[in-house]
Chains A and B, each alone.
Chain A
């Protein structure tokens, strides 16, 4: 069964600190891995997309890594800001339908001043 597991479920950090979110997946065949940020009451916004051949991709203070061998990904946030408070969702493309995305449950990040 295609699954995406994220950890931790929630995380609280102080403004200015760094943090890392984890994602493990069992989707096969693998096509790509995406990280989305979802602010409360809004639709998800794409942060990064990585294919099998990419092992790191950055978007400003966000850096995603991918280890296709161990089927793990991480999202590292540097120098966190209050606006980083959101749900971060790991999404894996592939599986039985090329267009199908399997979503993780998300990690809720809260940044305190």
Chain B
């Protein structure tokens, strides 16, 4: 298995632009998570899905952030409009059960100028 796949690996954009991050979870995993990591705040859970349905989005910072999971093999995290404070590494992770290990992707490093 290729593991969790994220794209792009790096993204540089200007303030106000729309940013879309993509994730392909491990096949057969029913849970998908989006995290954000910064030096100041560490790792933070943004949202997680179970069987493509959003379960907890309380970590989504504001309305500029939205996430979708149209099918079991694909999810997107969109930021519109982006701001410099959104600069961070965004990780996607997946797992079979909530009590089991989460497998993280390599992350997308986002820089908003």
- A→B interface (CB under 8 Å): 31-32, 34, 42-46, 49, 51, 89, 91, 93, 97-101, 103-106
Contacts and interface: CB of A to CB of B under 8 A. Distances in A.
Interface of B: 4, 31, 33, 42-45, 48, 50, 55-56, 58, 91, 93, 98-107
A99 B35 CA distance: 13
A46 B101 contact: yes
Q: Is the interface of B mostly helix, strand, loop or mixed?
A: strand
Contacts, number: 51
Nearest to B40: A105
Nearest to A48: B101
B45 A101 contact: yes
Given A46-B103, A99-B55, A103-B43, 5 more contacts: A43-B93, A44-B43, A44-B104, A97-B58, A106-B42
Nearest to B99: A32
A91 B37 CA distance: 14
Contact of A49 (B44, B58, B91, B100): B100
A44 B33 CA distance: 13
A89 B55 contact: no
29 contacts: A32-B99, A34-B101, A42-B107, A43-B91, A43-B93, A43-B107, A44-B43, A44-B104, A46-B101, A46-B102, A49-B100, A89-B42, A89-B43, A93-B98, A97-B55, A97-B56, A98-B98, A99-B31, A99-B48, A99-B50, A99-B55, A99-B56, A99-B98, A100-B56, A100-B58, A101-B102, A103-B42, A103-B43, A104-B42
